[in-house]
Structure 1
Amino acid sequence: MTYNGFVFFDIDGTLVNSQGQVPIENKRAIAQLRANGFLPIVCTGRDRGEMGTVLEDAGIHSAILLNGMEILHEKQFLFEGRIAQNSILKLLQLAKENEHNLGFYSQGEMRVTALSLTVQRNFRYFHQDLPQVGPTIYQNQPCQMLLIFSEEPEKDTQYQTEIPELHFFRNSPYSIDITPHGCNKGSGIQHLLTLLADKAPTYAFGDGLNDLSMFERVDYSIAMGNSQATIKEAATFITRSNDENGIPHALTHFGLI
């Protein structure tokens, strides 16, 4: 199947409002987008188990998950990456030295080494339920992404320096996303487009620093009105906030709906 274009959506601060819900206006806009021959795609650091009902609520069936480590096209998985075991072991040792807990994303499951206060604050921040404790899941299952739970940003560079084969990106005041070096939302977009062999126009909506890699890979980048200044500076167009129908406003601006 060919498409008139591809439209990528970050979730938190973008597709959902400040209460973590998909507004009815977004649902209607995405339904019209599909009817007009465009493919809507969620692009997120979440895994399939953390998506909840977001995809269903939004009427979206394609997603780039775990910052590019999993690719879903119309409910079918096309790609699933993994982090090397020796890199996980190095990270465990360094996190132990820094007294930081870890999170493991594995085939739709999420486990943490402990439910510390920082871990609890992180999941409240993202309006998500607390995961189960499972510090040894990496021994028996492949891991697609990891998290460091830390409220000490001054230590972030130590991880990148000592484990250069991994990419560390602070995604909240309480956590750092970890993927193989070179793997991010932007690389996930490129991978999907290569798999589909489609050169249709591309659009991306985002609000945070981890959306910059998306903006670099698409033809038209749209910053939400609630975005950080760096995102607004990099965008093709600045729309309204996620609480002010920013997505329908921009889709109308570009003539997609």
Structure 2
Amino acid sequence: MTKKMIMFDIDGTLLDHDKKLPASAKEAVKSLKEAGHEVAFATGRAPYFINDLRKELEIDSFICFNGQYVEIENEVIYKNPMDRELLTHLSSFSTSHNHPLIYMGAQFMKSTSGYHSEIEESLTALHIDTTQIGMDATYYHDTEIYQTLLYCKENEESLYRSNLQNLNFIRWHEYAMDVLPLGGSKAKGIEKFIEKKGFTKDQVYAFGDNLNDIEMLQYAGHSVAMGNAPQEVKNVARYVTKDVGEDGIAYGLQMVGLLS
């Protein structure tokens, strides 16, 4: 079999609804690697929030911050930090509306506020220890920021979309949106990844479940939406597998012919 590139989102794709890795998914990844395929993560998470999963699956290549930071075998091959002037506008605008931000750098993440219930609820749902988040409203002044988390409700989204049109906003939680450079996506990260590794788009298999996976699924030659994905995501995928909690990864890999 010709070597393939398999990109996995993490939350809701590899990790189930309880943020656990199903045994069938772990075995499937092991089988892919034993067959000689390349396996990597494509996630909205920061690198420091995937260390345990990287060790468990023995994967040392990833696309983080929804495509803004790409590392292959412990070498950073692509970075797309956010423009500081745009971050200044975002900071000023969000402060005027009492909406906290979290600036995400390659090593640390810092909040513009102290304890905040919406930050606590959203990140705890990802099993992220919020005590690791420091407070520094000026963190972006001298640190490259690859993604910002904006805390506002859905009925407040239009304020940002209309006033900050040079930024990309993607909702992932009732209270939170990812803020990215305009044009930034997992698809861009994959493009840089396969340029480096010598794959073609048709050799790429992408698995995802949420709105931040849409560009990736549209870009990959073979795209698989999880059964737990919203219909908007399923509509752009070539295949739809079972729910992540129903061995969706293993089933999807069988669907596309990568596992028997």
1:123 lines up with 2:142 in the alignment? no
What residue number does 2:183 align with?
182
1:135 shift after superposition: 2.0
Task: Judge conservation of contact 2:103–2:139 (CA < 8 Å) in 1.
Answer: yes
Distance 2:51 2:122 in 1: 17
Q: Distance in 1 between matches of 2:159 and 2:197?
A: 38
How far apart in 1 are the matches of 2:49 and 2:138?
20
SS of structure 1 residue aligned to 2:205:
strand
Deviation at 1:63, TM superposition (A): 0.7
Taking the aligned partners of 2:238 and 2:209, their CA distance within structure 1 comes to: 13
In structure 2, relative to structure 1, the CA distance for the partners of 1:196 and 1:52 (3 Å cut) is closer
Shift of 1:127: 1.9
1:9-158 alignment, distance < 5 Å: 9-114=8-113, 115-130=115-130, 131-150=133-152, 152-158=153-159
Q: Deviations over 1:99-153 (max 9, x none)?
A: 1000011122111112211111111222211022222211221111111112x21
- 1:252 equivalent to 2:259? Answer no
AA of the residue aligned to 1:79: Y
Give yes or no for the alignment of 1:160 onto 2:157: no
1:51 Cα deviation from its structure 2 partner? 1.6
Identity across aligned pairs (percent)?
A: 26
Q: For structure 1, which segment, 197-206 or 109-118, has the greater mean C-alpha deviation from structure 2 after superposition?
A: 197-206
The alignment covers a number of residue pairs equal to 254
Per-residue deviation at 1:158? 2.0
* Rounded Cα–Cα distance in structure 1 between residues aligned with 2:244 and 2:57: 14
What TM-score results when the alignment is normalised by the length of structure 2?
Answer: 0.93
Shift of 1:14: 0.5
Displacement of 1:50: 1.8
Q: Deviations over 1:60-90 (max 9, x none)?
A: 2211100111001122211122111111110
Work out the CA distance in 1 between the residues paired with 2:101 and 2:89. Answer: 12
Provide the residue aligned with 1:204 in structure 2.
206
Write the distance in 2 (CA, Å) between the matches of 1:61 and 1:169.
Answer: 27
Structure 1, unaligned stretches of length 5 or more? none
SS of corresponding position for 2:244: coil
Deviation at 1:38, TM superposition (A): 1.2
TM-score by length of 1: 0.94
The whole-number CA distance in structure 1 between the counterparts of 2:31 and 2:195 is 26
Is the Cα contact below 8 Å between 1:49 and 1:110 reproduced in 2?
Answer: no
CA shift for structure 1 position 12 = 0.7
Contact kept in structure 2, 1:36 and 1:256, CA below 8 Å? no
Contact 2:218–2:237, Cα closer than 8 Å, also in 1: no
Give the ranges of 4+ consecutive aligned residues of structure 1 lying more than 6 Å apart after TM superposition: none
SS in 1 for 2:194: helix
Q: CA deviation at 1:27?
A: 1.4
Partner Cα separation in structure 1 for residue 154 and residue 18 of structure 2: 26
Answer whether contact 1:26 1:58 (CA < 8 A) is retained. no
Deviation at 1:214, TM superposition (A): 0.7
**1:163 Cα deviation (Å)?**
1.8
